[in-house]
A and B are shown apart, each in its own frame.
Chain A
Amino acid sequence: MILSLSKHPSDEAIVEGILAGGRKEHEALVALYKKFHVSLERFIIHRSTGRDYAKQPEDIIWEAIEAFVVNIKKGTFTLKDATLETYLKSICKNLWFRYISQEASREERQNRYMAEWDKLEDDVSDMLIEKENWEHYISLVNKLGKNCRQILDMRLIEGLSMQEISQKLIANGTFENDQTVRNAKSKCLKKILELITSNHQ
């Protein structure tokens, strides 16, 4: 793969790549990981207890990147808030302490981790609790069929009109006509909203 991002992309270039989506987003994610993984790993290991955990610093780093990307896409993080490294370290620290405190015995938790837990940044802690609540909804949308998922992604994430979606899906042979696309969207939307609301209530 040829990275269109430079070898040492700036924070701005990475954020722009993520927001651009598609191939550029993939390149930005790879660049982001390559740029920060050494310092993040060192940062996490420095805060480890020496015990073996099922989750490795590598897993925490990718979870942190995921949380960060969601926030960029939702517009809740901007580079005015902090540098990428500081922000990612903050997420990593929270994820890591949260994880090892879950793994530790009650006594250990009282003695060692709760003190650290108290120091966690509130906004990031909220974000992590929120993240856990989303797991179920993610699993629901992942159960949707390929065509359903494609239509809903185009409509609600990319913000395309139904006319634009029909044109694309008819052109690539997925659907025969405009009406079948509209029917499929209505059916998919109804089905997923039923699943979501039945859980939500």
Chain B
Amino acid sequence: MIDMLQNQIEDYVAGGMKGKEKQAFEEQIKGNPTLQQQVEEVKLLREALLRAQVRANIANARNYINRPKRSLAYVLGSFSAAAAVVFFLLSTAVTFSPKKFNYRGDDVPSSVATQTRVNDYQKATELVEKGDNPVEAIKILERLKNNENVSKNYQNESKWMLVVAYLQAGEAEKAEKVFDEVKWEDTGRPFSVWEITKINWQIFWGKIF
């Protein structure tokens, strides 16, 4: 009974009571000061809840309005910084993983001529990896890339290394020419996509400056 009355009070205060039910309840309130007081208390509570809710919503809206905004300068600055990092990385030395020369397999004895080619290939690899004597590396690799006694795979490896050697020597146009020759070959690439991008980037700027 008490619960039922309490529910009626809440329905009435929350506006859930309509028509005849509302009228009847209002009549009941008029004749009952205790009930009237209970209704007033729940009305007071409802308004306190409403005001507290409004205040919280206002605080949220105010925080939203005052949130730190990313200005155009901030966005452009971030973009420029990111671009500068990418450009810097694109300009660093090209790294690669050339195949180890193993023309006839480890256990097969090689001729003197073959051994000479192996030595040349290994020397060129070291020179290109170090990057301190590209002229010498170019000399060796130019020989190897057109040597018919060298398998197609190692000819192409030599061409890839030659691209790097030309870039190290500051000869971008020559690097581009060899790069155009070798980039469509289907013998695999000793470079990752990122390193290929770096080669393109360095050829592009090398030709300008």
Contacts and interface: CB of A to CB of B under 8 A. Distances in A.
B82 interface: no
Contact of B45 (A156, A159, A186): A156
A153 B47 CA distance: 10
A150 B45 CA distance: 14
Contacts of A26: 57, 60-61, 64
B58 A69 contact: yes
Interface residues of B, number: 30
B58 A192 contact: no
Contact of B14 (A33, A65, A141, A156): A156
Contacts of B62: 33, 62
Contacts of B15: 159
B61 A196 contact: no
A141 B49 contact: yes
A138 B57 CA distance: 14
B55 interface: yes
Main SS class of interface, A: helix
Contacts of B49: 141, 149, 152-153, 156-157
Among B42, B46, B53, chain A packs the most CB atoms within 10 A around the CB of: B53
Among B11, B44, B55, chain A packs the most CB atoms within 10 A around the CB of: B55
Given A66-B58, A74-B50, A138-B55, 14 more contacts: A26-B61, A29-B57, A30-B64, A62-B58, A62-B62, A70-B51, A156-B10, A156-B14, A156-B42, A157-B53, A189-B6, A193-B42, A196-B44, A200-B41
Interface of B: 3, 6-7, 10-11, 13-16, 41-42, 44-55, 57-58, 60-62, 64-65
